[in-house]
Amino acid sequence: MNPIRIIFRRELASYFATPVAYVFILIFLVLSAAFTFYLGGFYERNQADLLPFFSFHPWLYLFLIPAISMRLWSEERKSGSIELLLTLPVTMWQAVVGKFLAAWAFAGIALALTFPLWITVNYLGDPDNGAIVAGYVGSFLMAGSFLAIGSCLSALTRNQVVAFILTVVTCFLLLLAGFPLVLEAAGAVLPQFLVDAVASLSFLTHFQSISKGVIDLRDLIYFALMIGFWLYASAVVIDLKKAD
């Protein structure tokens, strides 16, 4: 069997070895429903779509995803199990990818459990299911990018709380870069192409375009590059920091 699959299986099982996983999923479901119905005005809008649901995902992920990713490597370093893992016959990238995929699958499970909302909106009206699928794909990709960032930053420290905070701050900056407020302010001082460059770095820009139902290749490439870059950075950081 492929080492990535073995590591993936072990990691995913370890999420469910403690009640934390169930608590996390519960919090995610409660919050996403609360945002959708209260802040998003799901009924008041009188539209059969899941835009109010997806539009809060970046902010939900900002705090919930770092809670998943914070333990990825910092716990391995703290308990010393990193020494065990990396002296087994696996390569660094197999370990990084295996652990990342397990975290991503876990986030995917939480996301998939929001399906009653999809059923609800189909029961109430006649939504564009293609757009909803696109929304889920975009949300899942964004979760992956957050996790890849979290993977890298959790390799920096043995302390999970530090890893959590670093990840929240980094993700927040990357979200903000696409916020109209920031872009307008930037537009006042920077030439347009720089403003576009800042905007194109943001999760928000790419996520919003996907969640409107348009799966553009450029957005997919953006998320793929984002995940690839941060996973590569994870491997580099682990190599640098494992000695201390």
Partner 1 sequence: MIETRELSRHYGAIRAVDNISFRVEPGQVLGFLGPNGAGKSTTMKMIAGFLAPTSGSASVCGHDVALQPIEAKRLIGYLPEGAPSYGEMSVRGFLAFVADIRGLGAELRRQRLDDVIGRLSLGSVLGQSIETLSKGYRRRVGLAQAILHDPKVLVLDEPTDGLDPNQKQEVRNLINAMAKDKTIVVSTHILEEVHAVCNRAIIIAGGRILADDKPEALEARSRYHGAVSLTAANPVVTREILVRIADVESVVIDPQDQRVTAFPRKGKTIFAAVNEALKAQGIAVSEIQLERGRLDEVFRTITQDPAQGKAA
Which spans of this chain sit near partner 1 (rule: CB under 8 A)? 1, 3, 6-7, 10, 13-14, 17-18, 79-81, 83-84, 86-91, 242-244
CB of residue 18 to partner 1, shortest distance in Å: 6
Question: 78 or 212, CB closer to partner 1?
Answer: 78
CB–CB of 58/143 below 8 Å?
no
Instruction: Give min distance, CB of 14 to partner 1, in A.
Output: 6
Which CB, 99 or 206, lies closer to partner 1? 99
Closest approach of partner 1 to the CB of residue 8, in Å? 11
**What is the DSSP secondary-structure string of 53-85?**
HHHTHHHHHHHHHHHHHTHHHHHHHHHSHHHHH
Of the pair 10, 45, the CB lying nearest partner 1 is at 10
Helical pair 115-124 and 129-154, crossing angle rounded to 10 deg: 160
Nearer to partner 1, 36 or 157 (CB): 157
Sequence-distant (6+) residues with CB within 8 A of 129 are 122
Handedness of CA 13, 108, 166, 73 (dihedral sign): positive
Determine if residue 125 is left, alpha or beta; phi over 0 gives left, psi from -120 to 50 gives alpha, anything else beta.
Answer: beta
Closest distance of CB 81 from partner 1, Å:
5
Q: What is the closest distance, in whole angstroms, from the C-beta atom of residue 94 to partner 1 in the complex? A: 10
Cβ closest to partner 1, residue 57 vs residue 77: 77
List the one residue out of 12, 9, 198 whose CA is nearest residue 103.
12
CB of 96 to partner 1, least distance (A): 15
Q: How far apart, in whole angstroms, are the C-alpha atoms of residue 235 and residue 145?
A: 16
As a whole number of angstroms, the longest Cα–Cα distance in the chain is 58
Give 46 or 89: the residue with its C-beta nearer to partner 1: 89
Would you say 40 and 150 are in contact if contact means Cβ atoms under 8 Å apart? Answer: no
